[in-house]
Structures are given as C-alpha cells and as structure tokens.
C-alpha cells in the first residue's frame, strides 16, 4: 500500500516537472532567415539566427563551424544584438548574423539549428540557398586580351608616389644630427636623477577602494540607479581584467563567463558575480527598477566576490623568516 502511494506521488511530480519545462520552452521561439535566398557564385548572403524570449531567460546559441555544408562556407560572424520589445519590456529579441558564400552552383539546404534553454531545446526552421552561375552570352565573338599599355615613369612620378618616405627619411636624419649635437654640447656633470618606483597596488585593494567610493556617492539613493549599476559593473570588469588578465570591456556577460570557464574560481563566487552583472545588464538595457534591498545586495555581492577571489601573496623564506 505504501509503495503504491509513493509511486503515485513520484509519477505526479514527473508530470508537473515536464509541464513546467514545456511551458518555459513555449515562451521561447527561434527562427532562421536568409537575405537574400538566391546569390551568384562568389557573392555573399546573410544568415540570421533569431530568438524571441523573455528577457530574464538564458538561451545558448549554437556555434557554427567554418563550413555549413560541403559547398557553403561561413565568411564571418557578428556579435549577438539584443532588442527589447517596446510593447512588452519583459520580452526581447536576440539576433546573431553570419556572412555566407559559395563557389559552386546548386541548391543547398541550411539545416535547422538547436538552442539550449532551461525548458528544453528550441529549433529553427530549415532554409534553402540557391547559388546560380554567371550567364555568358555565347552569341558574341571571343576577343583576345588587350596588351598592357606602356607608361613612362619618371623620377618625379616616383617622388609623388613615395613623398612620405622621403619626408620620413629627412626627419630621421635631422633627429640623428640633433641628437649628436646635443650629446656633444650637453654638460658633462649631469646629476643622476633617481626614479622612485611606485609600488603596484593589488587589484583587489584598488577594486575595494572604488567600491567604497561608489557607496559613498549614494547614487541609487538619489534616483540615479542606472549610473550606480554602470559604475558597479565597470569596477568588476576592471578588477577581472587586472586579476585574471582577460578582456572584459565591450564584451557581454556571457562572453565574460566563457573566459572565466577554466579559471580557478569557486562556483559560489561565480554565482555572486553573475547575479551582479546580470542585474546591471537588466538595469542598463531593459530599464529594470530593482528594489533598495536588491541594490544593497548587488553591492554586497561585488564586495564578497572581490574579497573571495583576491590574489594571495606568497612570501619567500627570506621575508617570512624560518619555517
């Protein structure tokens, strides 16, 4: 009797979980487009992968290789572009485009691409690309290639084409002559100026100092919530660049976490960083209005992340004494 009751409860939970995943997937829609759908050999077209999703959802875009099919190549790719729906601020459209080309005539199928979401996998529609040959008018005669024309090339012509090199050479020569003259005429007993090497401030010390300065500004308390999150995000991005030597500016939050994937950072610290950067993105791009408690929590998360990931200096035996 007890075992039958337990199986019933377990089956019900599985059904509820499946319905929840399906409901999440239904809120996300993916599509693919070509512009144009027909090109000539060697011309280019644009492939657009588009996802319509709730702004707080996280969708993993597929990674395209250099070749889509045996005859269709990927020339370049652009960064994803996010546009918030003006009618519904909770919805956003993310578009990533690729430049394609082909040097063989024919009709090629662009396959369906899969996007990973919390509610399951969402797929795009399949596309067809037509590559046409260049038409040749066979009714006209074939002519020989014209011979190259002989053009006289004088020293004045060469000087006009390379004047900047001539000017650069004259400047270098003048600089060398000036340096030699200075070395001969300068005083012999020149006092030696000692350059005091400034101590390098650790990345975490500088970041914590800037966080304290940001807190003292009381930006969000004065209604400047967006500026508060812009400066908070900048402090964290600058700290990541100095601490882990990675590029963070002009990168999305997802691209930053791709760079942090193989670094020795605890999972809980990564979660603190992600919460803060995602909240900053929502405020900056989606006009999110967090509560005062959320503003304070974002600041606390930033301080905790910097404190937990600060670089520990290892002293040598000479500095630390005998062990």
**Each residue of 238-297: pLDDT tens digit?**
998 988 888 888 889 899 888 888 888 888 988 989 999 999 999 989 888 999 999 899
User: How many CB atoms sit inside 10 A of residue 25's CB?
Assistant: 16
CATH for 26-132 is 2.60.40.10
Per-domain residue ranges of the chain: 26-132, 155-185, 203-308
Q: For the chain, where are the E strands, in sequence order?
A: 29-35, 38-40, 44-54, 72-77, 81-84, 91-102, 106-110, 114-117, 120-123, 127-132
Q: Cα dihedral sign for 34, 35, 37, 42? A: negative
Q: What is the dihedral of CA 250, 254, 257, 259, to 10 degrees?
A: -60
pTM: 0.40
Is a pLDDT exceeding 80 seen at residue 2? no
As a whole number of Å, the CA-based R_g of the chain is 31
3-state class (DSSP) for residue 46: strand
In sign, the C-alpha dihedral spanning 47, 52, 53, 54 is positive
The bridge status of strand 38-40 relative to strand 127-132 is parallel
At 138 the pLDDT is 67
| Cα 308 from Cα 236, distance rounded (Å) | 13
> Locate tokens 């400066």: which residue?
231
Got the DSSP string for 63-110? PP-SBSSSSEEEEEE---EEEE-SS-TTEEEEEEEEEEEESS-EEEEE
Condensed to tens digits (0 to 9), the pLDDT of residues 79-107 reads 888 888 888 888 888 898 889 898 888 88
């Amino acid at each position: 009797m007890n075992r039958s009751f337990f199986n019933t409860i377990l089956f019900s939970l599985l059904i509820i979980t499946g319905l929840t995943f399906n409901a999440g997937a239904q809120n996300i829609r993916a599509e693919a487009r070509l512009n144009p759908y027909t090109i000539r050999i060697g011309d280019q077209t644009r492939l657009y992968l588009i996802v319509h999703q709730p702004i707080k959802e996280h969708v993993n875009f597929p990674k395209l290789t250099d070749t889509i099919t045996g005859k269709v190549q990927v020339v370049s790719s652009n960064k994803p572009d996010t546009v918030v729906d003006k009618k519904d601020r909770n919805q956003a459209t993310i578009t990533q485009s690729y430049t394609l080309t082909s040097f063989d005539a024919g009709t090629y199928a662009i396959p369906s691409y899969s996007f990973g979401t919390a509610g399951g996998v969402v797929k795009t529609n399949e596309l067809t690309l037509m590559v046409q040959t260049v038409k040749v008018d066979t009714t006209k005669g074939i002519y020989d290639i014209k011979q190259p024309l002989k053009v006289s090339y004088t020293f004045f012509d060469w000087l006009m084409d390379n004047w900047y090199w001539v000017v650069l050479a004259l400047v270098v020569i003048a600089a060398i002559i000036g340096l030699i003259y200075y070395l001969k005429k300068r005083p012999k007993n020149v006092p030696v100026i000692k350059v005091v090497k400034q101590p390098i401030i650790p990345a975490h010390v500088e970041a914590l100092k800037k966080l304290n300065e940001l807190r003292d500004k009381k930006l969000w308390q004065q209604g400047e919530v967006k500026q508060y999150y812009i400066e908070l995000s900048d402090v964290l991005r600058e700290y990541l660049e100095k601490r882990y030597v990675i590029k963070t500016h002009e990168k999305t939050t997802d691209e930053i976490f791709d760079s942090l994937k193989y670094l020795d950072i605890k999972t809980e610290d990564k979660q603190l960083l992600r919460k803060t950067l995602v909240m900053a993105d929502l405020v900056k791009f989606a006009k999110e209005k967090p509560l005062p408690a959320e503003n304070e929590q974002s600041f606390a998360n930033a301080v905790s992340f910097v404190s937990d990931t600060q670089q520990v200096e290892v002293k040598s035996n000479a500095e630390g004494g005998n062990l």
